Amino acid sequence: MNASSAGVKALKVAAGKDADGNAQYRIQFSSATTGASGDFQVYSGTSADVAAGSATNLLTAPGSAVIKTAQDASVRLYAGTTAEQTITSSTNTFTGLLPGVDVSVSKASSDPVTIGIAQDTSAATAVASGLVSAVNGVLALISTKSAVVNSTDSAGNNVVSGGPFTGDSTVRGVNDALVTAASMPVNGHSPSEIGISITKDGNFEFDQDKFSAALAKDPAGTQSMLATLASRVADAATTASDKYDGQLTGVITGQQSIVTDLNKQVDEWTLRLTDRRSALEKQYATLETQLSTLNSQSSSLSSALAGLPAVYTGA
């Protein structure tokens, strides 16, 4: 049964021992779904017996016990007034009990319950603060990698060296796009109105108190502006780093292509130089053989000359 799609689960529960000391068990059935729709009956007999009404209902048979009847959870609103109404749910959660409000109940109670509803600003504040931190993190990385450093070499000479992003127009364009996305007005309103402002150093600041005040005054407008800022920053980031046609992706692909081409040229020159070295070694070997032959001939000639008789040339 537990492996079927009947929607009912069975569990064997220990029920003590009989007079002979043998263990006894009960079978506990439960619905796989909650609420009144999970109600079920268990019969002993065939489908035909059930249809004919001759099957035994095990849930009502002598000795059986119904622990809990399937039912929906319910709440009464405006109890004791002309506007009283009962709302039901197949679970303990009432979705949309009030516009934008879900309510979960934990136990039955006949006593009136008052629900207080207040806006949760922590989530929106965390999003705004996280957006500012993320943008500042990228801008700080670009600034660090673009900095020019003055140093001195071992000889005392002044050395000026740049970072990997120094002078890179593509990276500079990405920086400008992010700054623009996070600082430009939204529908004529500056982001500084909701606590997101840019400093003279090009970084962003987040004023939590100002953001909370804006959220309390105009929740929809503040959230809309924040969503627009986040969307613009996301678009700028995608334009820069999309894995298929992003600006930085194009630069990286181009640099990788250059590296591949240079490695190919190095490999080709390595083969040429290897062949040239082999040819020169052969030439040098031939020259050494020839020089050895000439030295041998020179020694023989010197010996021959030394053996000739002296010739008198005097008057």
pLDDT value of position 213: 93
Range in 4-18, 162-176, 207-221, 278-292 with the lowest mean pLDDT: 4-18
pLDDT given for residue 217 in this prediction: 92
Q: Which pLDDT value is given to residue 310?
A: 67
Using DSSP's 3-state secondary structure scheme, residue 36 falls into: helix
Structural domain spans, the chain = 1-79, 122-241
Please tell me the predicted confidence (pLDDT) of residue 12: 87
Highest average pLDDT, of 110-119, 143-152, 203-212, comes from 203-212
DSSP secondary structure, 98-158, as one string: ETTEEEE--S---S----------HHHHHHHHHHHHHHHHHHHHHHHHH-EEEEE-TTS-E
Question: Hunting for tokens 């009956």 — which residue is that?
Answer: 41
Compute the average pLDDT of residues 60-85: 83
Higher-confidence position of 312 and 189: 189
What 3-state class would DSSP assign to 23?
A: strand
Query: Cα–Cα distance between 259 and 78 in angstroms, integer?
Result: 75
DSSP class of 79 = T
Residue 309 in this model has a pLDDT that exceeds 90: no
What pLDDT digit, counting tens, does each position of 233-271 carry?
Answer: 999 999 998 888 888 888 888 889 999 999 999 999 999
Mean per-residue pLDDT of the chain? 88
> What pLDDT does 312 receive?
62
Is 20 a residue whose pLDDT tops 70? yes
Say how many Å lie between the first and final Cα of the chain, rounded. Answer: 144
Of the pLDDT bands very low, low, confident and very high (cuts 50, 70, 90), residue 187 is very high
What's residue 105's pLDDT?
A: 87
Q: Do the beta carbons of residue 229 and residue 194 sit within 8 Å?
A: no
| pLDDT tens digits, one per residue of 223-236 | 999 999 999 999 99
**pLDDT value at 11 more than 70:** yes
Model confidence pLDDT, tens digit, residues 132-164:
999 999 999 999 998 888 888 888 888 888 888
